[in-house]
Amino acid sequence: MGEWDLLGHLLDKVQSHSTVIGKVWLTVLFIFRIMVLQTGAEKVWGDEQSDFVCNTQQPGCENVCYDLAFPISHVRFWILQIIAIATPQLLYLGHVLHVIHVEKKMKERMKKQEELDDQTNLLLKRAYKVPKYTKSSGEISIRGRLLRSYVLHLLAKIALEILFIVGQYLLYGFSLQTRYVCTRFPCPHKVDCFLSRPTEKSVIIWFMLVAACVSLVLSLVELFYLCVKAVKECMARRQDYTVTPVTPPPSERKAFKNRDEMIQNYVNLENGSPENNNMGEIHI
Amino acid sequence: MPLTSSMSWPALYTQLVGANRHATSLGKIWLSVLFIFRVMVLVVAAESVWGDEQSDFTCNTLQPGCENVCYDQFFPVSHIRLWCLQLVFVSTPTLLVAMYVAYRNHRDKRKLLQVCAFAKGQDEELETLKKRRLPIAGALWWTYACSLVFRLLFEAGFMYALYVVYDGFQMPRLVQCDQWPCPNLVDCFISRPTEKTIFTVFMATTSSICMVLNVAELVYLVIKAFTRDFPWVTQN
């Protein structure tokens, strides 16, 4: 896996900050796509140009016909595809690392605050922010901005995957024919050119296509799963939400009839409103 | 064995990651972009595209030696070699920073040993010295800024060299050559010109992205130094 090690190492880091389906997606990527590409596809396409033979003696004709038939080789196309779909994940990793870095700094600041006396503590607590993403166990939970970033990366991945699958279809179709007919200078007339190992190549093309579709389906399922979870949590929170009357503005405020009413109002205010999260919290 | 595999890119990566501990976030992003989008693509993809560049360079002549001289005329330095050199040169300024950090650590270690020669907990202090992350200020700031400027110069230089040697980023399908011993103006056909154009454009794009990152990092460093030395400017 030599050259893919760095990519593997970086994508592994994201694993701990993805959903379960995200982890499955990563495994599919590494085993069914990268490994197959390295061990199988490269050997099959190894003699693609040397064994591309045209029925002509005209020098240069084979070169130009090969160039016309394969503007970019399948293997290179798949390499670019894998790099392209890994990129949104790497951008998400960047965001996660940034969040971890910021939260670490906040925690350090909070530790320093604890050493101050209570009075200054009270004043400073309101001024400083509190770590938002770190759970009590020390892990990062995917919520708020991080969740938004995760969903965006999923959408980008899906879009790129579809783009490359459609691109491959438009360039080559999904199987290779044995014969390619070519009429390009300097070929003197319509020339028959014969590909090397078309059947074996078609098998691998189908395999890589299926792997790409599986990855696409996994990404779609993950998106759907996140949506469903978000809706469920939203509904659950709405049910827990006890409606308390909001304190009326001073002009409309009446004097409390008795002491009990005043205490009840105070208690309501103390309970406060639920946390104001834009996208809600997802515990994965 | 292709040249780049024996050049041991992982060893270079280890060196750069060590030096990159003292880099800004943009520097860390730059390193990842460098290794994933440039080194990996070079080793995994580009090499196989250029692998048969001379063997499949065909000229419309039976004259022996004509293909050799024509190939040599149009490809004085192969793209792959230029990119390897570019990547090596671009990585080198980071080692400047590593050297400076090593010098600082050595100096501080000596001071520490002199000061607390008989104190306990000396080993712990030495450990923290090794693991600490120096703030980018003073001489380190200048070293870092210089390394960024050199990086930019090397990137730009190599991109320009590639553009000049090959007359743009597009690979022609046909070149015409009349070097001795070719008997007349001979048509020579290059192997896989479209694929080569695609990868040349890809590498040029990633090179530009790296240059943009370097410029952004330089601007960030300058602003950071400015706000540190003149804090009253940012206070209203």
pLDDT over threshold 90, residue B153: yes
pLDDT over threshold 70, residue B183: yes
pLDDT over threshold 50, residue A277: no
Which of A105-109, B76-80, B212-216 is least confident? A105-109
* Average pLDDT over every residue of A41-47: 86
* Average pLDDT over every residue of A33-53: 87
Establish if A78 belongs to a structural domain. Answer: yes
pLDDT for B121: 64
Q: Which two tokens stand for residue A167?
A: 């691109």
Query: What total number of domains does chain A contain?
Result: 1
Establish if A87 belongs to a structural domain. Answer: yes
* Average pLDDT over every residue of A264-272: 67
pLDDT for A270: 62
pLDDT for A275: 42
Interface predicted TM-score (ipTM) over 0.90:
no
Establish if A144 belongs to a structural domain. Answer: yes
Q: Which residue has the higher pLDDT, B60 or B123?
A: B60
Establish if A280 belongs to a structural domain. Answer: no
Rounded to 10 degrees, the C-alpha dihedral B44/B50/B51/B53 comes to: 180
* Average pLDDT over every residue of B10-23: 81
Structural domain span for residue A204:
7-115+125-246
Q: A52-68: per-residue pLDDT in tens?
A: 999 999 989 999 999 99
pLDDT for A64: 93
Q: Which two tokens stand for residue A14?
A: 């994201």
Q: A174-223: per-residue pLDDT in tens?
A: 888 889 999 988 899 999 999 988 999 999 999 999 999 999 999 999 99
pLDDT over threshold 70, residue B234: no
Q: Which domains does chain B have, with CATH numbers?
A: 26-224 (1.20.1440.80)
Q: A141-159: per-residue pLDDT in tens?
A: 777 788 889 999 999 999 9
CATH number at residue A232: 1.20.1440.80
Establish if A252 belongs to a structural domain. Answer: no
Establish if A138 belongs to a structural domain. Answer: yes
Which A residues, 214 through 243, put their C-beta within 8 Å of a C-beta on chain B?
A: none
- A-interface mutation test, from B21, B25, B36, most A Cβ less than 10 A away: B36
pLDDT over threshold 70, residue A73: yes
- Written in H, E and C, the secondary structure of chain A is CHHHHHHHHHHHHHHCCCCHHHHHHHHHHHHHHHHHHHHHHHHHCCCCCCCCEECCCCCCHHHHHHHHHCCCCHHHHHHHHHHHHHHHHHHHHHHHHHHHHHHHHHHHHHHHHHCCCHHHHHHHHHHCCCCCCECCCCCECCECHHHHHHHHHHHHHHHHHHHHHHHHHHHHCCCCCCEEEECCCCCCCCEEEECCCHHHHHHHHHHHHHHHHHHHHHHHHHHHHHHHHHHHHHHHHHHHCCCCCCCCCHHHCCCCCCHHHHHHHHHHHHHCCCCCCCCCECCC
| B212 Cα distance to chain centroid | 14
Which B residues, 169 through 188, put their C-beta within 8 Å of a C-beta on chain A?
A: 173-174, 187-188
Establish if A69 belongs to a structural domain. Answer: yes
Establish if A35 belongs to a structural domain. Answer: yes
Which of A63-72, A104-113, A120-129, A153-162 is least confident? A120-129
pLDDT for B217: 93
A73 CB neighbours in chain B (<8 A) are 48-49, 192, 195
B32 CB neighbours in chain A (<8 A) are 10, 90
